[in-house]
Structure 1
Amino acid sequence: QITLYEDRFQGRHYECSSDHPNLQPYLSHCNSVRVDSGCWMLYELPNYSGLQYFLRCGYYADHQQWMGLSDWVRSCRLILYNPQASSHRLRIYDPEDYRGQMVEITEDCSCLHDLCRASYLASLTI
C-alpha cells in the first residue's frame, strides 16, 4: 500500500493498493509519500507516462527524497516481483513509443550499450 500526501504527511491524501492511471482528481500535487508495502513506480503524468520514480517501503518527506524534479504525481503502479518466475523478457526500443529497432533481452546483461549498439534508448517493455 502507498499513501500520497499533498502536505508533509498530513492534510489531503490518497491511499492506493493497486495501479492507478490518474490521480489528478484526488490530489493537486504530492509533497510526501508513505510506502507501507511493496515497491511502487510513480509517474509525473497520467496513464503511466512522463518521468518515473521507483520507491521502496519507507517515508519520503518531499519529492526531492525520491529524486523528483517536481511535486507532480499523476499515476502510480505497483511493481510486482515473483522470484519463482521462470523467465523474464525485456524489450528495448531505439525510438519512442515501442517502434523501430528492438532488442530483446532474456538473460543478465552487464552492458546495454555493447548489446544494443544504439546511441539512444527511448522505450522498453518488460
Structure 2
Amino acid sequence: MSEQQGAPEQLAAGKSQGGAGATYKVVLYEFENFRGKKIELSAECKDVGEKNLEKVGSIVVESGPWVAFERQGFAGEQFVLEKGEYPRWSTWTNSQNSYSLLSLRPLRVDSAEHKLQLFENGGFAGRKMEIVDDDVPSLWAHGFQDRVASVKALNGTWVGYMYPGYRGRQYVFERGDYKHWNDWGATAPQVQSVRRVRDMQWHKRGWHQLKESGKPPSPPSISGTSKPWTLSEGH
C-alpha cells in the first residue's frame, strides 16, 4: 500500500491483459479526481478498510475487469469496473442508492464469445430470450418485458441493469445458472437492459472507453438463429 497526492500515472499502452492467467490491477483513491490516499490491488479485497482506506472517491482500472460491492465481503449493490478512469462516483454507477464501495474482486471472462438466456419465470420457465454476442439497451423495446426471474449465462460474463439504457442497479452474470433473481443479488425480478463485460484479452480498451466512441450498435432482429438474439414462448 502507498499514500500519494496527485493524479495517477499514465496507463501503459498496448499491454495485453485478461483471459486465463491474466494479471489484474486497480488503483483506489480516497477522494475524487484521483487525489488523497491510494491503494493498489491485484487480487480480491474483502474490505478496503483493512487496507487503511476509509472511503473510495475515484478509481483507475489498469487491467480488468473487476466487480466492486457496496459492503464488505462482496455484498450489497454491485459495480462493474472495466479498463479506464473513474474520477467520481457517478462514473461507475447511476443508481444513487449508496455512496459506499467497500470490497471488490476480479471478474473472469471464459471466452471471447458471449451467450445469455433470460427467462420470464424462475427455474428457467416461461418466455425465453437468447442473446448471442450482442448488447441490448432495452429488452422491452424488442419484445421482452422487464420481468427476468432466472438466467443462464452460457458463455462470457454479462451485466444486467434494472432500467433501459444500462441504468440503475447492476447485476453480474458470470458463467453459470441462476434459478432465482436472489441468486444474482436482486430483490425483484426486474432487468431491462444487458451488455457483455469486456475482457482485456479480446477488448483492449474495455467498455468504459468503448461506450464513449459514439459508434451506433447494429439493430438486433428477432427472427432466425443466426441473428444476435431470439425470442421464444414458454411451454
**TM-score normalised by length of structure 1:** 0.69
Q: 2:123 matched to 1:123?
A: no
Which residue in the other structure is 2:76 paired with? Answer: 50
The structure whose Rg is larger is 2
Task: Describe the superposition over 1:2-38 as per-residue Cα deviations: whole angstroms up to 9, x where unpaired.
Answer: 0110112121111110111111222111110000001
Tell me the number of residue pairs that the alignment of Structure 1 and Structure 2 aligns. Answer: 111
Match of 1:4 among 19, 24, 28: 28
| 1:114 shift after superposition | 7.3
User: Could you list the runs of 4 or more consecutive aligned residues of structure 1 that deviate by over 3 angstroms after TM superposition?
Assistant: 101-104, 110-116
- Give the superposition deviation at 1:102: 4.2
Note if contact 1:5-1:31 (Cα within 8 Å) is conserved in structure 2. Answer: yes
Equivalent residue for 1:20, pick from 45, 50, 54:
45
2:116–2:130: 8 Å Cα contact kept in structure 1? no
1:82 CA drift (Å): 2.4
Q: Give TM-score scaled by structure 2 length.
A: 0.40
CA contact (8 A) 1:29 1:71 kept: no
When the two chains are superposed, the root-mean-square deviation of aligned CA atoms in Å is 3.4
Q: Are 1:31 and 1:71, in contact at CA under 8 Å, matched by a contact in 2? A: no
Counterpart of 1:75 in structure 2 is: 103
Question: How much has 1:124 moved relative to structure 2?
Answer: 3.1
Which residue in the other structure is 1:109 paired with? 130
Cα deviation per residue 1:28-71 (whole Å; 9 max; x = unaligned)?
A: 11110000001010100011110000011000000111115343
Task: Please list every run of 5 or more consecutive structure 2 residues that lacks an aligned counterpart in the other structure.
Answer: 1-24, 132-143, 151-179, 186-235
Query: Where does structure 1 lack aligned partners over 5 or more consecutive residues?
Result: 95-100
